[in-house]
Amino acid sequence: MAYVLYVLSLLLGLVIGSFVNVVIYRLPRRESLVRPGSHCPNCDAPVRWFDNIPVASWLILRGKCRACRDRISVRYLLVESITAAAFVLAMWRFGFAWQLLVAWAFITAMVAIAFIDYDHMLIPNKIVLPGALLGLVASIAINPQRWWVYLAGSAGAAAFMFMLVMIWPGGMGPGDIKMALFMGAVLGAYVIVALFAAFLLGSVAGLYLMVVQKRSRKTRVPFGPYLALGAVLAVFVGESILRWYTGTWS
């Protein structure tokens, strides 16, 4: 019986992932998320429903627009697959519970932010501010005895990022501070794991860019994708890592 829940999570993840593609493209361009329907960015031909099936349509059309044969970025496929895989993992991690809904919504937001920041060096207020508020309300509703953990996690993470922005102005921006507010509201104490993972991944990638690709140290690199990746990791393994860490050191 359990496999039905996994199949449903997969299908829902694909559909939501398809919507995330729309958000990634349209939100930074201030376009409506619902109208008009999907169309080819090259020739403007409307995408018909049977060419708009997550993952499958991209594969059947071999990544080309049916009308103009222009390439459709493999990113569409990637965003749908990542979202679907994370949705299935969340079902495995939380089972059918309120926490699952929070995790799904949070993952959706993180995937959208990662790609929007990568493309535009921008973390949209329209996602992180309502996200922080709703995240806090949902976390406290699910776990009322530990309300202060989410408040402290949210405020603490934002204060930490604010400090970094002050010390190192070129590195991060106000979007990263608001993103940390959102992450802490949902992750509570596990935001520590998320931030640690983000800085670790960011440093490795930064070294790679400098040493292998010979980019200058001044090249601005968006930090949102690392924060998002750290946050999703923390959803799944934050608890075990924090427990392992405190167990080792206490």
Q: Which residues bind Zn ion (CB under 5 A)?
A: 40, 42-43, 45, 65, 67-68, 70
Residue nearer to Zn ion on the CB measure, 31 or 70: 70
DSSP state of 237: H
Q: How far apart are CA 2 and CA 89, in angstroms?
A: 13
Report the nearest approach of Zn ion to the CB of residue 28 (Å). Answer: 21
Nearer to Zn ion, 67 or 78 (CB): 67
Residues 6+ apart with CB under 8 A from 100: 90, 91, 94
Q: Closer CB to Zn ion, residue 43 or residue 200?
A: 43
Identify which of residues 45 and 165 has a Cβ nearer to Zn ion in the complex: 45
Amino acid at 79: V
Nearest distance, CB of residue 76 and Zn ion, angstroms: 13
Beta carbon nearer to Zn ion, 68 or 97: 68
Distances (CA, A) of 204 to 170, 211, 212, 225, 233: 18, 10, 11, 13, 16
CB 29 → Zn ion: shortest distance, Å? 18
Q: Which is nearer to Zn ion, 45 or 101 (CB)?
A: 45
- Could you tell me the smallest distance in angstroms from the CB atom of residue 43 to Zn ion? 3
> How far is it, in rounded angstroms, from Cα 211 to Cα 62?
35
Residue 34 Cβ vs Zn ion, minimum distance, rounded to whole Å: 21
- Nearest distance from C-beta of residue 41 to Zn ion, angstroms: 8
**What is the rounded distance in angstroms from the CA atom of residue 57 to the CA atom of residue 61?**
6
Contacting residues for 167 by C-beta, under 8 A, at least 6 apart:
none
Contact 171, 164 (CB under 8 A): yes
Closest C-alpha among 109, 117, 122 to residue 20 = 109
